[in-house]
Amino acid sequence: MNTPFLSRNTYFFLFSLLGLVYSIGLFVPLMDNDSAHHGNIALRMYLTGDYVNIIDFGKDYLDKPHLHFWLCALSYEMFGVTTFAYKLPSFLFTIGGIYSVYRLGKALYDAETGKLAALIAASAFAFILANNDVRMDAILTACIAFATWQLVVFIQTKKLLNAAGAALGLAIGFCTKGHIAVFVPAVAALFYILYRKEWKLFYNWKWLVLLLLFALFISPVVYCYYLQYNLHPEKVVRGKNNINGVAFILLNQSIERFGGGMGTTGKKDYLFFLHSFLWAFAPWGIITVIAFTGRIKNFLQRKDEWLTTGVFITMFLVVAFAGFKLPHYINIVFPTAAVAAATFILKHRHNEKWIRIILIIQSILVFFLLLLSAFINGWAFPVRSVAVIIGTILLLAIVFHFVKSKSYSTAQKNIIVPVAAMSFSFFLLNSNFYPQLLTYQGGNELAFASKGKIDPARVYYWQEDYSSSFAFYTATLHKNFADSVLQPGQTTWIIYDTRDEKEITDAGYTLTKQFATPDYEITKLDIKFMNPAKREKECKTMVLAEIGK
């Protein structure tokens, strides 16, 4: 019997460290750009009881499907409109996704590969980040992992139960973010069948059952698109009317993004996938690229299964030529990339040359990770909390314990130390950096400052101003200001940028009681803002003021 690469207790300890980090992240306030934005779409469903129409700031939202919003709204019903409630569904899916990565690695190789792959995925930078700045990506990645695992087992066993499981995973992913949730597992299954040369499987009748179940499972979302758009040809979205909602969700949703219909970010960056993967999958990105380089070189010799390599190559090409690219799109390859990385590490666990190479790579990455943590939490946003200082000392001690310990081999330390370092870094990010950073997001700070002092139902926004975080943390819907909202005997409040103050007063309005806070687009950090001496100058000022005539 082979000796396990890492003991059960070691896995338990490392996953516990990561669990601590993930749990703290559940309480980090939402960021405006997407998290609070999506939180408000779900908030509208919760407040109005309308779960059919996806509405964004009073306008029809033709982009993402319903499931993420439904899950968040259901969580609001159970826990109230809180940060925790919004993030909880993604966190639960993440747990399921990590388990699915384990089962995928076990199905393709063995249990040891599965356990290591799960640890690699759970400690990857963007995988953790997807549970901080929560969008659809955590749920999407989990569904891809689950569907791919079920498809692999179906191909191996031909059992109808796994076909049904694959249909469910594909459908949940599709209802979260569209076609990409189906495309990635389908590519994985295709390459796995080609690798196994099971040509007869293409004619297996159980594929029809899978397709029928998939159609059944996605039908609620498709029907909602029919109700929102097909029955209302007068609706105008992005300058177009007569929108066929059913055709959009079944055919056009991902095509728009691939063709650049949603924007042209990164359009001509043909290596976007590669350089984004290196940091997004840190600290495993370099090792994984090395692993895939060897797999591609020996692809036709069939030394390794084709599933993981096929997904990586296909997504590299798809993203390279896509008209619209964003870094979080890379997360969809994490489940299969983790399996490939785990296989590579275990294959070379006794090879002194590769152990030394991996040691050098991981040591450099850990050094820069600790250095970056010191820069952010020592200079830019110094730690002030005694509890965080104690936690920091304990986690840093754990990192150095693993570095110095003689109980682990170098090959084992190549895994253990980076996982501990990621836990240390994200502990500081979640308990210190993000909480301090978010004090510069004006909306949530105004919501916290005015809680219990004003009626949020009487708050309006000047012209095109808006704040997703203020709306979320006051559990109110966005309302634009108009002269007609000023009613005798009622106090009215308005949110605006100080740069608009002259325009407001010139229009004949008076501004009296005020709450004011610095405001910065915190998802677009630069070195000037990070510099404490220059930070205030980089911020705008967001104001919540009582308005009258």
pLDDT of residue 256: 64
Each domain of the chain, given as residue ranges in start order, spans 31-347, 359-439, 443-548
pLDDT at site 57: 87
Using pLDDT thresholds of 50, 70 and 90, give the confidence band for residue 80.
Answer: very high
pLDDT, tens digit, 9 for 90 and up, residues 316-332: 998 888 766 677 778 99
Residues 93, 135: Cα–Cα separation, whole Å? 12
Alpha-carbon distance 315 to 187, whole Å? 9
Do 432 and 381 contact (CB within 8 A), yes or no?
yes
pLDDT in the model for residue 102: 98
What does the H/E/C string look like for 110-162? CHHHHHHHHHHHHCCHHHHHCCCCCCCHHHHHHHHHHHHHHHHHHHHHCCHHH
Residue 64 has pLDDT above 80, yes or no: yes
The pLDDT value recorded for residue 91 is: 98
Sequential DSSP letters for 293-344: HHHHHTGGGTSS-SHHHHHHHHHHHHHHH-SS--GGGGGGGHHHHHHHHHHH
Taking the C-alpha atoms of residue 314 and residue 265, their distance in angstroms, rounded to an integer, is 20
Which helix H or strand E contains 514, and what residues bound it?
A: strand 510-519
Q: Among 190-199, 208-217, 259-268, whose mean pLDDT is lowest?
A: 259-268
φ, ψ dihedrals at 268, nearest 5°? -100, 10
| Residue 239: per-residue pLDDT | 82
Give the pLDDT confidence score for residue 135 in this predicted structure.
Answer: 92
295 pLDDT band, cuts 50/70/90, is: very high
pLDDT value, residue 2: 66
Token reading at 496: 């605006």
Residue range 62-70: mean pLDDT, rounded: 94
Give, in degrees to the nearest 5, the angle at Cα 484 between 478 and 488: 110
Q: pLDDT at position 488, please?
A: 86
Distance of CA 331 to CAs 111, 121, 166, 264, 317, Å? 23, 10, 19, 20, 15
pLDDT digit string, tens, across residues 487-499: 888 899 999 999 9
- Residue 267's pLDDT band (boundaries 50, 70, 90)? low
Half-sphere exposure of 297 (CA within 13 A, CB side): 6
Q: Is the pLDDT of residue 262 over 70?
A: no
Nearest to 169 by CA among 181, 183, 157: 181
pLDDT at 34: 87
Q: What is the largest CA-CA distance in the chain?
A: 84
Q: Answer whether the bond into residue 283 is a cis peptide, omega within 30°.
A: yes
Q: What would the mean pLDDT of 82-106 be, rounded to a whole number?
A: 98
> For residue 479, is it left (φ>0), alpha (ψ between -120 and 50) or beta?
beta
Mean pLDDT of 219-235: 95
Residue entry with tokens 């384990």: 102
Q: What band does 503 get if pLDDT is binned at 50, 70 and 90?
A: very high
- At residue 1, the pLDDT reads 41
Residues listed for the chain:
549
> Two tokens at 377?
């939490």
Residue-averaged pLDDT of the chain: 93
pLDDT at 270 exceeding the cut of 90: no
Helices (H), 348-441: 352-374, 386-404, 410-428, 434-437
User: For residue range 436-470, what is the model confidence (pLDDT) as tens digits?
Assistant: 999 999 999 999 999 999 999 999 999 878 899 99
Residue 306 above 70 pLDDT?
yes
Q: Is 266 helix (H, G, I), strand (E, B) or coil?
A: coil
Residue 401's pLDDT is what?
96
| pLDDT digits 0-9 by tens, 275-294 | 899 999 999 999 999 999 99
pLDDT the model gives residue 322: 76
143-165 mean pLDDT: 98
268 pLDDT above the threshold of 50: yes
Q: What percentage of the chain reaches a pLDDT higher than 70?
A: 96
Q: Assess contact for 174 and 65: CB atoms under 8 A.
A: yes
